[in-house]
Amino acid sequence: MLSRLIGTIQTIESQAIELFASPFTFHIHTPQTYTLKVNEQREFYIHLQIKEDGANLFGFLSQADKEIFIQLLKVRSIGPKLAFQIMQTDIKHFIAACQRQDKEVLCSIPGIGAKTAARILAEIDVNSLPIVANQQQHYFQAKKMLLNLGFTESKIDFVLPQCPQDSLDELVKAALKFLGERNAKSSITS
């Protein structure tokens, strides 16, 4: 089974690339062409789809993106084209909407109507996605660090959800800044 390819990007199309991985050149569909450059060497996590009319390779820059794509394909009525449409949006925003069960945000993505949005919310286990697992791990690590610094649990629980959760460092820095501002404001009013 084909799971990863490392090679040099030969051409870039709107939703595909040609990747030279010696001795072959592969045509790979990818929703992430905007971050790529010709002659750049990159690694793609591959999903191979075999159909009656041929085989298609779908490539992603991270294993997490590949797993999200595969989860989307498991939803009835979502094929690769619509999954690509979703992957081209801000995927963190999409996942947050799924966590909140926000149909309205999902319906704002072209190609997703009320029925498809309901299916997505019912059929995708958002908490099993790697990006969500990483965010939860960052959240708990940051909370433990802030508790060790002497902040109260209620203040931490109020602040952390409002902070960016791209990495543990960013989360802690943003939380400390926000907590520092709150402490400064409360000491002024006291």
Contact by Cβ (8 Å): 13, 34: no
Q: How confident is the model at residue 9 (pLDDT cuts 50, 70, 90)?
A: very high
| pLDDT at site 40 | 94
pTM score: 0.66
Residue 184 has pLDDT above 60, yes or no: no
pLDDT digit string, tens, across residues 71-88:
899 898 898 889 988 888
Each residue of 141-172: pLDDT tens digit? 788 888 888 888 888 878 777 676 666 787 78
Tokens of 54: 């041929």
The residue-averaged pLDDT of 119-127 equals: 84
Q: Which residues of 162-189 are buried (b: 16+ CB within 10 A; e: fewer)?
A: ebebeeeeebbebbbebbeeeeeeeeee
Backbone angles phi, psi at 83, to 5 degrees: -60, -40
Q: Residue 26, SS3?
A: strand
